[in-house]
Structure 1
Amino acid sequence: MHEQDSVGENVFWTYSLSVYRRKEVAQCCLALQDDAGVDVNLLLYAGWLAGKGQRLDSYHLEQVAAAVADWREQVVKPLRDLRRHLHTIAGAELLWEALKAQELSAEQQQQDTMYACYRALVALPAGQDCLRENLRMVFRYSNPRAAALPDSLGGLALALAC
């Protein structure tokens, strides 16, 4: 089921770096993170799976989210919050850059855990054109009481499909 990768290579991380460079992907992911509390790495994971023709199921999503929850809450989010705060302080540019690198490293570690969860799977359901469905599942998981899907979710689907 799993593609062959080099020893130690996380192809999910490679995918994420590639697609996140697209301005529209980054903008939509950040909007969903800031406005709706959605984990960007889960959105990217949903997109990566869809690109592999795999439908995300609720059990696996809960498994992956639980595996990274403490790391995200105790490491990634505090680094992000501090970096964002430093961005507003004159003279803190070098520290801001260093924190940005640390935050990226923390994100990579989170994705390594997510990829390990994926590699431990026996199978996920196959699905053609499941990108929107996978993204919706991540959004609904993060916002179970949301009445409507935000426009940025559709924008992300379009940006990832390119």
Structure 2
Amino acid sequence: MKPNEPTASEAFWQFSLSFYCLNGVEQALLMLQDTYGLDINCLLYAYWHGSSGRGAIGKLEWQALQASIGGLGDHVGELRALRKEAKLLAIPAYYQALKDAELAGEKAIQQRLAQQARQINKQSDRLAAIQKSLTAYLEMAHRVMPPATTQLLEALAQQAVQMDGAG
């Protein structure tokens, strides 16, 4: 790694923040989470890993990644549920504390995922890598998506590749 080059964890986190802010991405990812129970961090990891030239993630790798996350994902999910309930209570400081804790948990999950990231391969077919990674993730998670949702996942993959090429 070069002196000013970010670590994989930093690069993944920055990608996630930038990608999430793109038009329509936040809404799409939240719908995938709320409707299909997909893990946004895993989706972001697939998009980042592939778009950055690190290649595809196979089903066995996804299983190892899930194991590396351990119970942290469940705890973050519990914080998310509490945060959503707290919003209704209209106590801004309580809501913000839960939101901060949830974000810290999300970042910890991403750090664990990024520890497994491969080195960049400049010849990698980035879009194909993302598509293979998503397919393996959905198989590992035992999820079958309707065609419209599959098209949404593919559109997000194209945005990730375009974003990486622009940055």
Query: Do both proteins adopt the same fold according to a TM-score greater than 0.5, normalized to the shorter chain?
Result: yes
Q: Which amino acid aligns with 2:87?
A: H
Structure 1 residue ranges, 4+ long, deviating more than 6 angstroms after superposition: none
Residues of 1 paired with 2:48 and 2:15: CA distance?
Answer: 7
Could you tell me which residue of structure 1 aligns to residue 146 of structure 2? Answer: 148
| Amino acid in structure 2 at the alignment position of 1:105 | A
Q: Could you say which residue in structure 2 is the equivalent of 1:72?
A: 73
Give the TM-score, by structure 1 length.
0.81
Structure 2 portions without partners, runs of 5+:
163-167
User: For 2:154 and 2:139, how far apart are their aligned partners in 1?
Assistant: 14
Specify the SS of the correspondent of 1:47. helix
TM, length-normalised to structure 2: 0.78
SS in 1 for 2:144: coil
Conserved? CA contact 2:79–2:102, under 8 Å: yes
Pairwise CA distance, 1:105: 0.8
**SS of the residue 2:114 aligns to:** helix
- Tell me which amino acid in the other structure corresponds to 1:61: W
Counterparts of 1:82 and 1:101, CA distance in 2: 12
What's the % identity of the aligned pairs? Answer: 25
- Unaligned runs of at least 5 residues, structure 1: none
In 2: Cα distance, 1:65 partner to 1:22 partner: 26
Q: How far apart, in 1, do the equivalents of 2:7 and 2:143 lie?
A: 41
CA separation in 2, counterparts of 1:111 and 1:28?
19
In structure 1, the residue matched to 2:58 is 57
User: CA, structure 1 residues 46+70, in 2 after alignment: closer, same or farther (shift >3 Å)?
Assistant: same
> Which residue identity is paired with 1:94?
A
Match of 1:105 in 2: 104
Q: Which residue of 2 aligns with 1:24?
A: 24
